[in-house]
Structure 1
């Protein structure tokens, strides 16, 4: 197998930083010892090798390695290290080193030996190594690397222990590597760590993201989804295995591939066992990566004592280990595969038949895990039809329990087996159902469409035609393709002869009507379905009807919507319907998004969706949380969630993508960065969706407002407002509310009067706030100052409770302040002070300057642009202000009050007052003394 090496270290940034920090300490004469530990292939040598390669320009590097040998020569790694680094140098001399040269000559064979007896004890050798390296390196730091200490001889371990204990006062960095298996090296690691003289770097397996990055680094491009899944599932985050697995054919990765390194090592370990133990471990490999004692004894021809002995031998050889909670497991899934690869097919089939007989299903339902295990034995025993039936059965149970990822995996496995046409049809019907529930409608539609095209048997079985067409309608509806959904729903109704299926079609028609914004018809159909199912079921259909009714209510009444979603949640919990419980939680989180901005339920829904494999709900939950974080000015949290959400939307073709890109653009614009390309991508993905067009206009308007261009912001919002108001299922979006405020300020009261009559306009908290500010402007214009102030106060309270929405609040108030100053109502000077500080802290300098300009119009003090120089420690607590500190610094330079006034653009009288306060606050009786003390910097 070819080998592809990743050109960069992935996922080891923290450990790399620790090594660099230790080297920096060695440069200052403070040596240390670091141990890099982990299982084979985890990247110990790679990390240390790349580190020393980078350090060779400004450090002496000595590298030695232990070897796997039954009787390694004493101090072999030290010999290799010193020879590799010193072979071209003359023998060092010096009084400090001379007494140790005889002992070192036994380590470095090139040096002459002495005739007299020499103390070659590990302690003397270790001290000699310290002095030798110090002599050679001089003022340059040195790195001594000793690798694979799990194979070290006792003398080498003793030298390492001495070095770790005594390296602190030298310029030497000692780096050791070892596997984290029991043995003498492990005991040494424990002792040194306990004494605090060894920095322990235990390398973990790479996470999924780093695994994908490393695979891409090996290939020079992103791996295919199939190869990525193979590497993630098979390599288990081990870098060496990642590198070997990506060397398989990227276009056709094989799930059963075993890297050559693993195959060779496993074969050697297996060969070291006696024949009885080999047979036991081979049988265990057929049983799975984890296996139970009872099952193993049922499938081998050996008595329990022999089986126990075999297990002990295999544990000692590093092939298997005891699993916490009972049973055994192979050290790595690939180890098990390597053992299987050594067996002939008849061997595997014989064990599988015994396991199949032991596990042959009886009555009752079994979960997906049990069914998958039994199906695997059935496949190995040559019983594919039985295996498919088991996988289908397990998938149904997992589907009901909400374990969508497990159900999908089982059905994908079933689809890969050769079986009857009837089983193929049933497998794909189940798979389409799983994909719809998992929120992957395009994939579900593709599966169902292929099924209809390739298997004419469905056409001849009219009883199955209606459910298949209905499932396709659900897929298109989930993808937002309402015309396609309506067509398939009509086809399902034409083929249906079952009243139960007719009720499902009725609800499908209600969903399609909702998508076409035929809200009255949608509600009428949904209520009828709920009435017919709430008592007798099917309760899944009742939950689906309640969900739709909640979404209909959410257009104008959040309380009614929450009641519907809450009833759906209660129904799902009462009848143990985890998928519908999850969906109800998700819908309840939309209520939080519109009002409380509490991310708790959205986070809970996302976590549960991820656990159950409902990946589209993960994306929607992430999106909801991102929007809430954005409204709360928590932009870093919002950006992280949106990045993950975009990845899911692109990989699953979710219709949410345009809104995700739009929110990314809004976060980018709000934080002062370029947003145009994100807006263009959002519009390209959205088609003629008025929601997205209005949201993109809101992004542009926001950026223009941050640039102090209110007419431009209003012009950006104008084109999409008419269709947005007329077509949107809810009028609670921020674009309409912002347009209403700006248009009321610029054009009079007509925009406010028109928008106030729209249904559901007061649903969202930000809309309430914006419209409240607009009402305050309108009332002030009507010379009703008390009413205007009351409306402003109510809007301000809405923007702050239950949690603040700072961006909405301060941006609105900056523009409302102009009207308040002009019409003479409220206390704009009070809120402008707060607005100016907010904009200044956020880096929106134009808005901060605008606030200061408005404050000047009120005749009130204008806040300083900067806090002034720092207050010296001696004056902390004296109440000296930043402006007074500026005056004090100029006083120290000997400037007169007039000169200081000119420098700071103040009146001379103001400077005189500042100097008077400085005299009082510093306890200085006269100006001349103040000048002298300031010049001497007595504070």
Structure 2
């Protein structure tokens, strides 16, 4: 008979917790719940009860579990969970998931073809955090209507990548219709550390399952026997309470043993004890399983012993590989084992079986003598190697585990090391660390150094830099043999130090990068190999851009010249040596350095980088090149179309981090173009995601962009709040400081009519750039600063010409300011007509940037009034109108004050004034005058206009005179023609 309980006994608090979490997820209040306890305590039973409730409420349930075979397969529980859903319902087709499909293809096999097609010959190695963000979006879509449940069991056996994904999910479920339920044993390891940390910061609820109390043990026994508690013999209940230790699994197994031995039988409708029940301890379960296995057919016994050696879950194909059974024999034996209630089909994967419980597999192997267990493991390992010498997928790890179980530590180390290498190449650095640590522990002295080097690379790639830099100091020294030349060991060590230095530079850990470069240089000697010197030169070049590594004044500039020379040589060497990644790194560095000479030179470097990336199928570097080409195109023209295309390429690749970088640039572009709503939408959409992804550079840039947006709207307090957030994120230690001084604080000061404050901010930015190499060219040095210096009378023509000769002067944002500055100088020099033409040319260049355009008009008009040239009244009216509409009152007030000083009328901003065409508003036409003007399109007389507007003919005459003066029309007929031309009535 069945010996499992059909109901969940006890666990009222845990069941209530899960029920309330389910209800919360349906209200878009996602959370994580973990069930913690020893094997057999009832975690899976509760998880199944939760899944049953979810199904009843119409919630999708995605169910997976960790590996129990000892193999490390990145993301295995997540892949199983998604497969369990999509096998039955198909993959979702929601358009909002399109940017995330390439990343999710790693978890969803059905999308792998799409991802490969999108990436071309290459593939984007998405980070674990990018993948976690993509999974979060997918779960939100699946749970959009009713909520959804992600149920992951046996997390103590899971891989490092899954743990990293879970950490991200736990911290970001709030506000989403997702319930995460996980089960695990209280065994030391990354999963338990994760759960405990989440519990401490109240990001997850943890229910620790304790042994069932005696009353619940008795109730469970009655449920298994389908009887009332009073109908179960007292001796049976006492034995279960004493021997099961409150474990539901042991309750069921002890009852099964009693039934199998016929010590407990149902006779005459009653349960009766026949003979004695025995007084053994729970270890009798082992002997019980041994007896059951011995009673089976020899082939079934061999199959089960082999399967138990592989773990509590096993692949049918692997068992067949080891046993050599044909299909008919194999499935006949599997059916017999299943009928004996030893194994069950694994619902998560159709080609796998599982022992009825984890402890069942343990009991089966424990029934064997140690020598027999080792022999079974050794025989299984040899069979797998013989059948599959390449040992693809998980088989190499499986062989390593079997060899270790057989006592062959050296053989196990070799296979763990190779498995770690393969997993690292596949981009799963966290899992590679686990495998290589096993190899490191098992390796002999002769092999340990090579394993350590590979482990160091895995640690660096997985972001565990502290451990990497600590471990690298333990490496034994290597020396070249002068007679034989450079050894492979020395070359590997140089590569290792170079790679560690690159990773350190990319995450801005400069103090760790420097000694790694020094170590690589020391091993390279005075005559390094060209390709090694190229890789090191690229790292050193990027390092030179950081503030703490640059030198102020002439020496610092000279250092950058030398850096550029070495980077160019590195690019050439890397291309000849077939090192495309190093070549791309070098061309990227050269593009940054070449901006000093002009953006044509920078774009030429980026075009070469793009060609190398496309020629060698490096999709990440291709998008990097497109991104920088798009940024340069915007700076040169003000047009963001190419940057938008770069974003499409990044999103199509599934490169979430790169997409966020482009989004930051697009947000700043929107701010400069006065597209406030677009800028705010991008910032709000991306800011939290960059924080979740720990994309620090993009996060800082978006915070600074948010502060710049506030500054450009004249909201000083909001700007200071955003700059405080920027500072808290480490922004003041970043390369973004010139933008903080120029684009943000200086413009904010000008909009507060604090000219001295703006000049002080720009001066601080210039001082910072003198001490540190800057790659930002819109921060003021080449545009706004020259305009302020000229309008305030601090610069003469020679100073201006020097600034205008810089390559950055050709950038659209800078070009507009320089055009107005030139006009002011021309007017001051008495060349009035040239000055007026210069203003019109500057206004045309300023078209994409309305705020900068009108701010420059306000500054230029003041100078024109003082020097008596141009049309300052019209310019001031245009600027006043703009700043009034954008509610930047200090500048609008300053424009009105200058108009009064010029003796011009000042517009009254009454309701309905926005109906007046901008052309007429710029002339100072009032709302009442415009009402008269509109009627002129039909050429009526003054009397008719007076009757229609209920005003006196004398008032009409006054408005007509004002209109003629303000529009510059010679007579009434010309004014009527203009009214007909601008007629907006229908």
Distance 1:602 1:14 in 2: 34
Which residue number in structure 1 is paired with residue 635 of structure 2? 594
Q: 1:409 and 1:590, CA in 2 relative to 1: closer, same or farther beyond 3 A?
A: farther
Which residue number in structure 2 is paired with residue 576 of structure 1? 617
Answering whether residue 166 of structure 2 is matched by residue 230 of structure 1, we say yes
Matched-pair contact (CA < 8 Å) for 1:235–1:242: no
Q: Deviations over 1:223-254 (max 9, x none)?
A: x9997743667999898963556997999633
Q: Deviations over 1:384-412 (max 9, x none)?
A: 425423433324543xxxxx4x3454345
Which residue number in structure 2 is paired with residue 410 of structure 1? 432
Report SS of the residue matched to 1:242: strand
Distance 2:356 2:818 in 1: 68
| Residue in structure 2 matching 1:505, options 536, 539, 544 | 536
Distance 1:551 1:312 in 2: 66
Answering whether residue 192 of structure 2 is matched by residue 254 of structure 1, we say yes
Answering whether residue 691 of structure 2 is matched by residue 647 of structure 1, we say yes
Matched-pair contact (CA < 8 Å) for 1:730–1:760: no
1:286-685 correspondence runs (5 A): 298=321, 303=328, 320=347, 343-344=361-362, 357=383, 371=393, 374-375=396-397, 378-379=400-401, 382=404, 384-395=412-423, 397-398=425-426, 404=427, 406-415=428-437, 418-420=441-443, 426=450, 429-430=453-454, 433=457, 443=463, 445-456=465-476, 462=490, 464-480=492-508, 485-496=513-524, 499=529, 500-513=531-544, 515=546, 516=550, 517=556, 518-595=559-636, 596-598=639-641, 599-604=643-648, 606-607=650-651, 611=655, 615=657, 617=658, 620-632=661-673, 633=675, 634-640=678-684, 643-644=687-688, 647=691, 651=694, 654=696, 659-671=701-713, 672=715, 673-680=717-724, 682-683=726-727, 685=730
Matched-pair contact (CA < 8 Å) for 2:504–2:510: yes
Distance 1:727 1:419 in 2: 49
Distance 1:883 1:281 in 2: 97
Q: 1:429 and 1:345, CA in 2 relative to 1: closer, same or farther beyond 3 A?
A: farther
Matched-pair contact (CA < 8 Å) for 2:436–2:451: yes
| Residue in structure 1 matching 2:789, options 743, 746, 749 | 743
Structure ranking higher on relative contact order (CA contacts 8 Å, 6+ apart): 2
Report SS of the residue matched to 1:477: helix
Q: 1:909 and 1:242, CA in 2 relative to 1: closer, same or farther beyond 3 A?
A: farther
| Residue in structure 1 matching 2:764, options 689, 700, 719 | 719
Distance 1:376 1:234 in 2: 31
Distance 1:858 1:246 in 2: 82
Matched-pair contact (CA < 8 Å) for 1:244–1:259: no
Q: 1:239 and 1:496, CA in 2 relative to 1: closer, same or farther beyond 3 A?
A: same
Which residue number in structure 2 is paired with residue 790 of structure 1? 837
Q: TM-score when scaled to structure 1?
A: 0.57
Q: Deviations over 1:402-423 (max 9, x none)?
A: xx4x345434543366432677
Answering whether residue 861 of structure 2 is matched by residue 817 of structure 1, we say yes
1:764-775 correspondence runs (5 A): 764-775=811-822
Report SS of the residue matched to 2:830: coil
Distance 1:310 1:235 in 2: 46
Answering whether residue 750 of structure 2 is matched by residue 705 of structure 1, we say yes
Q: 1:234 and 1:716, CA in 2 relative to 1: closer, same or farther beyond 3 A?
A: closer
Q: TM-score when scaled to structure 2?
A: 0.55
Matched-pair contact (CA < 8 Å) for 2:704–2:740: yes
1:166-177 correspondence runs (5 A): none
Matched-pair contact (CA < 8 Å) for 1:700–1:716: yes
Matched-pair contact (CA < 8 Å) for 1:387–1:414: no
Q: Deviations over 1:115-147 (max 9, x none)?
A: xxxxxxxxxxxxxxxxxxxxxxxxxxxxxxxx6
Answering whether residue 808 of structure 2 is matched by residue 761 of structure 1, we say yes
Q: Structure 1 residues 457-466 or 783-792, which shifts more? A: 457-466
Q: 1:423 and 1:12, CA in 2 relative to 1: closer, same or farther beyond 3 A?
A: farther
Which residue number in structure 2 is paired with residue 94 of structure 1? none
Distance 2:891 2:313 in 1: 64
1:723 is displaced (CA, Å) by 4.2
Report SS of the residue matched to 1:708: coil
Q: Deviations over 1:201-225 (max 9, x none)?
A: xx9844899999999xxxxxxxx99
1:546 is displaced (CA, Å) by 2.1
| Residue in structure 1 matching 2:180, options 220, 231, 242 | 242
Q: Deviations over 1:149-179 (max 9, x none)?
A: 99xxxxxxxxxxxxxxxxxxxxxxxxxxxx9
1:630 is displaced (CA, Å) by 3.0
Distance 2:437 2:319 in 1: 29
Distance 1:838 1:728 in 2: 37
Q: Structure 1 residues 229-238 or 684-693, which shifts more? A: 229-238
Distance 2:879 2:378 in 1: 73
Which residue number in structure 2 is paired with residue 929 of structure 1? none
Distance 2:171 2:382 in 1: 29
Matched-pair contact (CA < 8 Å) for 2:827–2:867: yes
Distance 1:587 1:214 in 2: 39
Distance 2:184 2:897 in 1: 63
Q: 1:459 and 1:723, CA in 2 relative to 1: closer, same or farther beyond 3 A?
A: same
1:756 is displaced (CA, Å) by 0.6
Q: Deviations over 1:271-312 (max 9, x none)?
A: 99x999999999999999999986686578663766998999
1:530 is displaced (CA, Å) by 2.9
Report SS of the residue matched to 2:907: coil
Matched-pair contact (CA < 8 Å) for 1:745–1:777: yes
Matched-pair contact (CA < 8 Å) for 2:683–2:706: yes
1:655 is displaced (CA, Å) by 6.3
Q: 1:796 and 1:556, CA in 2 relative to 1: closer, same or farther beyond 3 A?
A: farther
Distance 1:318 1:910 in 2: 96
Which residue number in structure 2 is paired with residue 891 of structure 1? none
Q: Structure 1 residues 840-849 or 295-304, which shifts more? A: 295-304
Q: 1:282 and 1:743, CA in 2 relative to 1: closer, same or farther beyond 3 A?
A: farther
Q: 1:285 and 1:363, CA in 2 relative to 1: closer, same or farther beyond 3 A?
A: closer
1:521 is displaced (CA, Å) by 0.8
Report SS of the residue matched to 1:735: coil
Structure 1: any 5+ residue segments left out of the alignment? 17-37, 47-65, 67-146, 151-178, 184-202, 216-223, 331-335, 399-403, 872-880, 888-900, 916-939
| Equivalenced residues, count | 679
1:784 is displaced (CA, Å) by 2.5
Distance 1:226 1:597 in 2: 38
Report SS of the residue matched to 1:555: coil
Matched-pair contact (CA < 8 Å) for 2:687–2:703: no
